[in-house]
A and B are shown apart, each in its own frame.
Chain A
Amino acid sequence: MNKKALILGVIVIAIAITIIASSSTPSETVNLDMGRTHGSISTTMGSPIFGNPDAPITIVEFGDYQCEMCYRWFHASKPQIVENYIDTGKANLIFIDLAFLGKDSLKAAQATYCAEDQGKYWEFHNMLYNSQENVDDGWANSERLKAFAFSLGLDMDLFDSCFDSGKYSKRVQYNIDQAKKHNVHSTPTFIIVGDNQQKQVSGAQPYDVFVNVFDSMI
Chain B
Amino acid sequence: MTMFLIKKADVGKIAQELSREYEVYGPMIEKSSGQTFFDRVEDLAEINLAAPIPSNPPKAVVFPQMERILAYEYDRTKNAVKMEPDYRVVPKALVGLRPCDLAGMLCLDRFFMGQEFVDEVYLNHRKKMFIVTNTCITPFKQCFCVCTDSGPAAKEGYDLNLTDLGGEFLVEVGSEKGAALAAKLGLAPAGDPHLALKNEKVDKSIAMFEDIAVDSKAWISRVMNRVTTGFAKEEVWEYIGDQCFECGACTFVCPSCSCFNIADVSNPECAGCADRLRTWDSCSYEGYSRMAGGHNPRKPVEDRRNKRFFCKLSYSQMKKYLRPGCVGCGRCAWVCPGDIGLPNVVTYVRREITR
Q: Does chain A bind chain B?
A: no
- Which residues of A line the B interface, CB within 8 A? none
- Which residues of B line the A interface, CB within 8 A? none
